Amino acid sequence: MGTLIGVLCALAGAAAYGAAGVLQHHSAHQAPQRGAMRPRLLFDLIQIRAFRAGVIFAAGGFVLQVVALRFAPLALVQPLLVTGTLFYIGFAYAMRRQWPDARLMLGALVAMVGLTGFLLLASPSEAPSEVAEPMGDVAVVPLGMVLVGLVAACLVAATVVHSDLRAMPLAIATAICYGVTAGLVRELSSSANLTEPGYILSQWQLYGVVIIGVAGFLLNQNAFQSGLIGALASAVITVGDPIVAVAFGATWLGENIASGPLVTALQAVMMALVAGGVLLLARRSQQVAQEFREETVSAAGVS
């Protein structure tokens, strides 16, 4: 019975995340166009009712995710949560009173199958690995430099790619920030001194969570504002976040990840599926965006 509750909460959480994404994407296109990482965009968005509703849905999705993890294992909950992209596409097309685009759904499904297979094969565990040790506070500066470098590279890429694909590098930057934030939260919450008064305020991880989390949320809105079709950004963030979190846990926290020749080869196959699904989404998003523009021009000409 407990597992069933976990499954239902995970699916409800995925639906809430999907609805939140649709509302945020819709709001981002109502707000004035802002450059990447401009905090003013958040002030513009908070004035839009749909965006505020999207934040509420996102908070509800997070609560449902926590409840799901209380009743079901992570290996079951995480794959169910990634169905949020399918819910996103369904809700987005429902707002347009159209059937969901089959190729967008296929791309999202292929990416999610790949992610689910990778997570099941990796079997990430908080138990310490025998071959990797936690890096500790000594590596904070290198971590920060790597994070800034990766996000900066994504921002540069967003300025040179085709406008219909600009959302992809911004979504990758978002996934990096979200994944690192999740890892820092896990590190902070696992401390034995968590209950001591003032302990959390003295930990750099708390301030890292606030800064990187806010940066990720802002980049998320930039990604939505940059893409006429939000499914691409939603999928990249949905599949990228847990992959980055797993990589962060293995390299920074020294968490145990399943390995071996066969397992590693299968993990590579799953990652290839993820890449293939995202590429299919990217290609189809360009086509659908062009179709939407033609519909808009045609409708304007008729009126």
Per-residue pLDDT tens for 66-117? Answer: 888 788 766 677 778 788 888 988 998 888 888 888 888 998 899 888 888 8
Distance (Å, rounded) from C-alpha 93 to C-alpha 195?
Answer: 46
Inter-residue contact 204 to 272 (CB < 8 Å): no
- Pick the closest to residue 183 from 230, 242, 106 (CA basis): 242
Q: Per residue, what are the HEC states of 207-269?
A: HHHHHHHHHHHHHHHHHHHHCCCCHHHHHHHHHHHHHHHHHHHHHCCCEECCCCHHHHHHHHH
Task: Give the chain's residues under pLDDT 70.
Answer: 73-75, 124-139, 189-197, 294-303
Q: Torsions phi, psi of 126, nearest 5?
A: -75, -5
Residue 29, SS3? coil
* Pair 232, 167: CB distance under 8 Å: yes
- As a whole number of angstroms, the distance between CA 246 and CA 192 comes to 22
Q: What is the pLDDT of residue 138?
A: 63
Q: How many CB atoms lie within 10 A of CB 262?
A: 9
Beta strand segments in 38-143, E: 125-128
Give the residue numbers spanning the domain of 280: 2-302
Nearest to 219 by CA among 42, 63, 84: 42
pTM of the model: 0.82
Number of compact structural domains in the chain? 1
Residue-level pLDDT at 152: 93
Question: Both tokens of residue 89?
Answer: 């596409």
Helix (H) or strand (E) holding 48: none
